[in-house]
A = this chain, B = another copy of it.
Amino acid sequence: MGKVIFGVDLGGTTVKMGYFDTEGNVKDKWEIPTRKDENGKNILPDIAASIKKKMAEQGMEKNDVIGVGIGVPGPVDANGVIYKAANLGWDVFSVKEELAVLLGGIPVEAGNDANVAALGEMWQGGGRGYKNLVAVTLGTGVGGGIIVEGKILTGATGAGGEIGHIHIVEDEPETCGCGNHGCLEQYASATGIARLAKRRLAKDDKASVLRSGEISAKTVFDAVKAGDELAKEVAKEFGMYLGKGLAAVACVVNPEIFVIGGGVSKAGDVLFEYIVDEYKKYVFRGSRDAKFALATLGNDAGIYGAAKLVLG
């Protein structure tokens, strides 16, 4: 048996796990529940136990395992120290060292979950073949992961790639989850797209299929595909804000490619019709030819990226 790497994606409800060969082929994947009680003190022991069990089942010895990578939902610095993860009840400690001890000295690497997922998309997903990449997750919020020369850009306090909080709109009355007003996330997330649609519907009486039934990012883009003019106006506004935000990102890091994932990306290539022209309009010419692609690994991006963390 060739050497393997374990990848762990620690979420608020479940821990996704898998192991990979060095070529990036997933050999097995599974999940365990995230036990958040008692300030999450069981989480790392549970993960270590699950890895050891898998190793025993597969007849793996310690030196068959190159290492274990883990993505965690909070800011993680370049030394694998997490600075609080409220969602898990965790305070400040070295995830990297603590998990390595629990695994009897198998090397561990740790990173922020969004950044690690970006690395996964670079390794085996929509960004394959590129080393300078920005992964954009359009879900409940807008997350980002910046990869520079093949490495995660962590930042001084693990807040690198927080592109959802770039200020985009003046005079926004509603407050973003971060406490500011007018963040990109307020317009380009799934929630944000629904907000734009509701505001557009309230503006006048223009006919739209969106006037009946649920309003969500999915129903908006379904309506766009069905030719609904009002939905297209909403998509245009979304694309203008996101294009402008990604142009700002490109003026800073000048990526080769943007890889768009998260629930909103299920709308598919139609997104690019609304994002790319606006991006090109606002960006500096040196970044005008950046590529755009859809993420392809879905919920597995985290375990792929965690494994890649170990390979460096």
Contacts and interface: CB of A to CB of B under 8 A. Distances in A.
Contact of A155 (B132, B167, B289): B132
Interface in A275-310: 281-287, 289-290
A160 interface: yes
A146 B113 CA distance: 24
A148 interface: yes
Interface string A142-178: 0010101100011111111111011100000000001
A78 B150 CA distance: 13
Given A167-B247, A244-B167, A248-B166, A254 B157 contact: yes
Interface residues of A, number: 44
A155 B282 contact: no
Contacts of A255: 155-156
B155 A254 contact: yes
A106 interface: no
Nearest to A184: B251
Contacts of A149: 78
Interface of A: 75, 78, 132, 144, 146, 148-149, 153-163, 165-167, 178-180, 244, 247-256, 281-287, 289-290
Given A155-B286, A156-B256, A166-B248, 10 more contacts: A75-B286, A155-B287, A159-B287, A165-B284, A167-B248, A178-B284, A178-B285, A179-B285, A180-B284, A248-B252
22 contacts: A75-B286, A78-B149, A132-B156, A148-B148, A153-B253, A155-B287, A156-B255, A156-B256, A156-B290, A157-B254, A157-B286, A159-B250, A159-B285, A159-B286, A162-B251, A162-B254, A163-B251, A166-B252, A167-B247, A179-B285, A248-B248, A253-B253
